[in-house]
Amino acid sequence: MKKTKILVVEDERIVAEDIKRSLEALGYKVCSIVSTGEEAVKQAGRYKPDLVLMDIVLKGKMNGIKAANQITSLYHIPVVYLTAYADENTLQRAKITQPYGYIIKPFTDRELYSNIEIALYKSRMERKIEHLNAVLRALCNVSQLTTTEKDRDRLLKGACENLIGTRGYHSAWIVLWDENGKPVTAAEAGLGEDFFKMIELLKDGKLPICGEKALFQSDIVVTSNPFSICTNCPLAGKYKGRSAMTVRLEHGEKIYGMLTVSIPRELARDKEEQKLFKELAGELAFALYSIEIEEERKQAEKKLRESEEKYASLINDAIDSLPSGIFILDRDFKIVWVNRTIEDFFGIDKNSLIGRDKRKAIKERIKYIFEDPEQFEQIVFRTYENNTYVEKFECHVLPSGKRKERFLLHWSIPIRTGALVGGRIEHYYDITEQKRAKEKLQQSYNKLKKTFWQIVRTLSTITKVKDPYTAGHQQRVTKLACAIATEMGLPDERIEGIYIAGLLHDIGKIAIPAEILNKPTKLTEAESNLIKTHPQVGYDILKNIEFSEPIAQIVLQHHEMMDGSGYPQGLKGKEILLEARILAVADVVEAISSHRPYRPALGLDKALEEISKNKGTLYDPKVVDTCLKLFTEKGFRFE
């Protein structure tokens, strides 16, 4: 297994060598030791380490804080401070650079190891969350595109551009093939002129290795290192340092083509990543299917319009072959023509209808094949009463015997010229596939929403790895906060925002060492200040995720107080979001009434006494009154 590379920045050589020995004993690889901030930035760019251990006080013009800021900005490498200085001023300056850890000398190997592993885990999770969020945005964009774009080539090009536009993937390309598996069209984004070589390969009827595999399996094809494996692929050079994912685009039993993207290697085997990629391919395949159906519908409508222009073209076999069911009536509403499609739709022999008064046929037989017979009769007869009237409406054919269930779109138009002037042409167009397609679009939306909630719940349980208390605390705070919001009459969308923020309000504690979170004795000032960073850390984790409510801001403000004595921004009164004021009350009630690592539970009475005593000073008065009402009048309980 590849060892984790660490860059050590320490201006005391003896201390640096001692740290190196400890790191190597713990199984890490020290790629370099430097003593200045300038050299640290340079070596970080050269070696691209997995983590930097940074002393704050260094020789030269650049201290550790400035060096860390440059390293994280340029290379996105996690930095853990390693220093003997723990004063408030140093901590505040270091906090600005958003470090992944803060180790105070002297330290044990166990402290060193735990802080490094937590920092690496946090860095990996942030990268994964950032990437999944980008892929989700791409999925939403492509989903929206599939509902609006009806041109196949523009759809493919737009999908590729959306996939790289959100920074979800580095490049993307799509190829569609015919029934014999031969490529017919392609689109790309992020590949440029190199894709021309792939087009030439496709024109020769050839596919790259990933495409050949995807053609014969429905699972995603992951190529870990295309640069070294796919030597004959004209795009291999574009995948240096990355992996490729390929999946075929299929709907029902039809395979339309395949989609390939380039992705960071560490994410290519991730199950959530593959699940989203599979959903994305499904959306595209369904859009291609819908375009195919729409083209067939337009072709049918075109045939119908042409047939309406000339009466002679109606009374022939062409009408019978149309996918639309057709009645032709004379001015007395006598049925003079019925095509074979009507027989299929209605389950009625067309010869038994020709020559009959359509009004009587409706009353005696036709209307009873529909789900709502009376409504059908009423709407159709309205067109008969006013022969210039044109109305479209949807009707549901019920299954019976050989007759299948269908959804039909009915409309009729008056005949204005020819031998049947004054009569009507009635159309019944089968929209069953479109109805089912619409239902599947709704299912896709529901799946997307389900995936969103899975990500929220995953985020909410991250802290459980280090601090089981925090996980339970977040759930109880969420329950009380939502009850307060409901009692205050907040709209559903804001209550949902409070629910999400409640589950995630302490996510920033993943950056706090477990030894501090679970310390059974009173915290030192430095430890207390470190814990106070968790709202800012939580905000930084959540700020780039596109929630419908200001979740990141609520998490940032949930320790602010009405008099400005809270943290981290010292906001006052209505400068604090109402949702954050609600969370603040729920947070303190749960914390006081529940067990903490350093003390037993103080009880609910003590908690209610605290918010009553500080109502209007620390806590929002209306929120406090509502909370007290829940416990004293409404019988609210945490369990």
List the structure tokens of 353: 């209808």
Beta bridge partner(s), residue 7: 32, 52
* Boundaries of every domain in the chain: 5-107, 152-268, 310-430, 456-632
- For strands 172-177 and 254-264, give the pairing: antiparallel
pLDDT value, residue 58? 85
The fraction of the chain above a pLDDT of 90, given in percent, is 23
Q: 171 falls in which pLDDT band (50, 70, 90)?
A: confident
Mean pLDDT of 618-633: 95
Kindly report which listed range (205-214, 278-287, 352-361, 502-511) carries the lowest average pLDDT score.
Answer: 205-214
606: three-class secondary structure by DSSP: helix
- The Cα 119–Cα 510 span in angstroms is 9
The fraction of the chain above a pLDDT of 70, given in percent, is 88
- Mean pLDDT across the chain, nearest whole number? 84
Mean pLDDT of 403-410: 88
pLDDT at 149 over 70: yes
243: three-class secondary structure by DSSP: strand
pLDDT at 432 over 90: no
- Give the architecture (CATH level 2) of 310-430: 2-Layer Sandwich (3.30)
- The Cα 68–Cα 56 span in angstroms is 9
Return the higher-pLDDT residue of 428 and 515.
428
Return the higher-pLDDT residue of 469 and 535.
535
Helical spans, DSSP H, in 239-372: 265-268, 271-309, 311-314, 317-321, 340-346, 358-364
pLDDT value, residue 312? 47
Residue pair 626/487 in contact (Cβ under 8 Å)? The answer is yes
Return the higher-pLDDT residue of 86 and 275.
275
Mean pLDDT of 13-30: 92
Return the higher-pLDDT residue of 493 and 371.
493
- The Cα 442–Cα 185 span in angstroms is 29
Q: Answer yes or no: CATH 1.20.140.10 is held by domain 456-632.
A: no
pLDDT digits (tens, 9 = 90+) for 46-71: 999 999 999 988 888 898 889 888 98
Angle at alpha carbon of residue 80, lines to 77 and 81, rounded to 5°? 130
pLDDT value, residue 217? 84
Amino acid at 155: L
Return the higher-pLDDT residue of 317 and 264.
264
pLDDT at 461 over 70: no
pLDDT digits (tens, 9 = 90+) for 124-138: 887 777 767 766 777
Q: What CATH number is given for 5-107 in this structure? A: 3.40.50.2300
Residue pair 539/552 in contact (Cβ under 8 Å)? The answer is yes
pLDDT digits (tens, 9 = 90+) for 257-310: 889 888 888 777 888 878 888 888 888 888 888 888 888 888 877 777 766 565
- For strands 29-34 and 5-9, give the pairing: parallel
23: left (phi over 0), alpha (psi -120 to 50) or beta: alpha
- The Cα 397–Cα 371 span in angstroms is 6
The reply to whether 152-268 and 456-632 are identical in fold is: no
Angle at alpha carbon of residue 127, lines to 126 and 130, rounded to 5°? 80
Residue pair 213/246 in contact (Cβ under 8 Å)? The answer is yes
Sort 27 into a burial class: Cβ within 10 Å, 0-12 / 13-18 / 19+: exposed
Q: 387 falls in which pLDDT band (50, 70, 90)?
A: low
pLDDT at 555 over 90: yes
pLDDT at 311 over 60: no
pLDDT value, residue 630? 94
DSSP-assigned letters across all residues of 385-443 = HSTT----EEEEEPPBTTBPPEEEEEEEEE--SSTTTT-EEEEEEE-HHHHHHHHHHHH
Q: What CATH number is given for 152-268 in this structure? A: 3.30.450.40
pLDDT digits (tens, 9 = 90+) for 567-615: 999 999 999 999 999 999 999 999 898 887 777 888 889 999 999 999 9
Strands of 242-251's sheet, edge to edge?
Answer: 183-189, 172-177, 254-264, 242-251, 221-223
Sort 374 into a burial class: Cβ within 10 Å, 0-12 / 13-18 / 19+: exposed
Q: 33 falls in which pLDDT band (50, 70, 90)?
A: very high
pLDDT digits (tens, 9 = 90+) for 323-343: 888 888 888 889 888 888 888
List the structure tokens of 59: 């020789």
Mean pLDDT of 193-218: 80
- Identify the residue whose tokens are 């477990």: 514
Number of H helices, E strands in the chain: 26, 15
Sequence-separated (6 or more) residues with CB below 8 Å from residue 101: 80, 81, 115, 116, 118, 119, 511, 513
Q: Which residues of 575-589 are buried (b: 16+ CB within 10 A; e: fewer)?
A: ebbbbbbbbbbbbbb
pLDDT digits (tens, 9 = 90+) for 511-527: 888 788 788 888 888 88
Residue pair 97/56 in contact (Cβ under 8 Å)? The answer is no
Kindly report which listed range (175-179, 235-239, 326-330, 614-618) carries the lowest average pLDDT score.
Answer: 235-239
pLDDT value, residue 531? 87
